[in-house]
Amino acid sequence: MNRIIITNVHIIDPENNIDKIGDIFIKDGVFSEQFDDDAVLIDGTGLCAVPGLVDLHVHLRDPGQTYKEDIITGCRSAAAGGVTSLLAMPNTIPAVDTPETVAYILDKAKDADAHVYVVGAITHDLKSKTPTDIDALKEAGISALSDDGRPVENTAFMAAAMKKACELGIPVTAHCEDPYLAGGKVNEGKMSEMLGVKGMPAAAEDTGTAREIALAAAYDLPIHICHVSTATSADMIRDAKKRGVRVTAETAPHYIMLTEKELEKRDADYRMNPPLRTEKDRLAMIEALCDGTIDAIATDHAPHSVEEKSDFVNAPNGSIGMETSFSASYTVLVKSGKMTVSQLIEKMSCTPAKILHINAGSLSVGKPADVMLFDPNETWTVDPDKFHGKSKNSPFKALTLTSKVKLTVCGGKIVFNEI
């Protein structure tokens, strides 16, 4: 059925400054005016309807590590979290450094439950040795450039990629990290000392952030800073914006809800890169979101197997997050009164769509019918065994969150329904 009517729902659409009870009409994959034809009727009483979420930072592990996740299961997980568009990072095996790999991902994503946008690598195999053919990658269908998973160590390569990306009208998303300072397991400080493991200093992230801001300022080019986690990086981004530097930034739900204190459990599900930081840093991320310094909330969804995560010290970095991102962010920001729902949706849908230059983030008539319904009053306890992806490595496990995704429509198709 290609016709859906959602009735008596609380519509919140920041792009159109709409906040009212009403009906939503979907026909042939787009939002439509009212019509009388037969349609699937969905009672939205007590629920809120918002534009589908746009996640700027997702690792789908496909190709190469599909035992952790694949394009189909990753998008199934996205749908369960209200995510209708996602940006797939290039650190697959092989890396997304050839048109053939881009084509593989886009072809497989045709049948997925979310719109998949592909990030092309800046350097071959993400090794900062040889630049990729960016024109060829763009022709193959990439939507952004990054070596995420690693920083681009060669500054000249990074500058060239930023220039080329600007010409092509796509963003560069930067994994900000000095590899000579990095390499630790948890945040460097009291926690790393207590655990007896090598720490990763905030300076590793901050020096990387400083370099990318300097490039953006020197060449008057845009740059998007990934997974901001430190107060100092937030301060630098805030200052750069005041100076007119074309910088945008994202943080992740775990950096606004959790701190390094979680590592006392010696559970590798709480290990990611950047690592969970201090309470000062957590509060700085919230402040930066609220004052507009940080533009977006993205998950850095990074699936790993239970076996891989069983060894606290030697496990790979990363945690999953698409099925909890909205509820966790709502709990920290909206329930506390720091943001309205409309402001949160700007951070999780409207602004990410603008950064990625995609036709999303709005409920306007004629736009692709990507919409998420949620219950703002439902509380639920996170149980990774009920997730829809392959991996369970959630840092939100066993936490009780407020607001629950109940229905996701992607391109006019119902891809998740718990009403």
User: Residue 223 CB: number of other CB atoms within 10 A?
Assistant: 28
Instruction: Say how far apart CA 13 and CA 145 lie, in whole Å.
Output: 29
Residue 4 Cα distances to 12, 13, 37, 73, 321, angstroms: 18, 18, 10, 25, 29
Beta-strand pair 48-51/53-58: unpaired
Instruction: Say how far apart CA 232 and CA 207 lie, in whole Å.
Output: 10
Cis (ω within 30 of 0) for the bond into 179?
no
Task: Look up 300 and say whether it is catalytic.
Answer: yes
Instruction: Say how far apart CA 234 and CA 281 lie, in whole Å.
Output: 9
Going by C-beta distance under 8 Å and a sequence separation of 6 or more, which residues neighbour residue 70? 60, 61, 62, 108, 390
What sign has the CA pseudo-torsion 370, 373, 379, 380?
Answer: negative
Instruction: Say how far apart CA 268 and CA 172 lie, in whole Å.
Output: 30
Contact, 319 vs 395, CB < 8 A? yes
DSSP string, 343-366: HHHIIIIIHHHHHHT-S-S---TT
Per the document, the length of the chain is: 419
Catalytic residue among 62, 269, 300, 375: 300
Shortest CA distance to 176 belongs to which of 196, 202, 205, 154?
205
Instruction: Say how far apart CA 186 and CA 198 lie, in whole Å.
Output: 7
Active site residues: 300
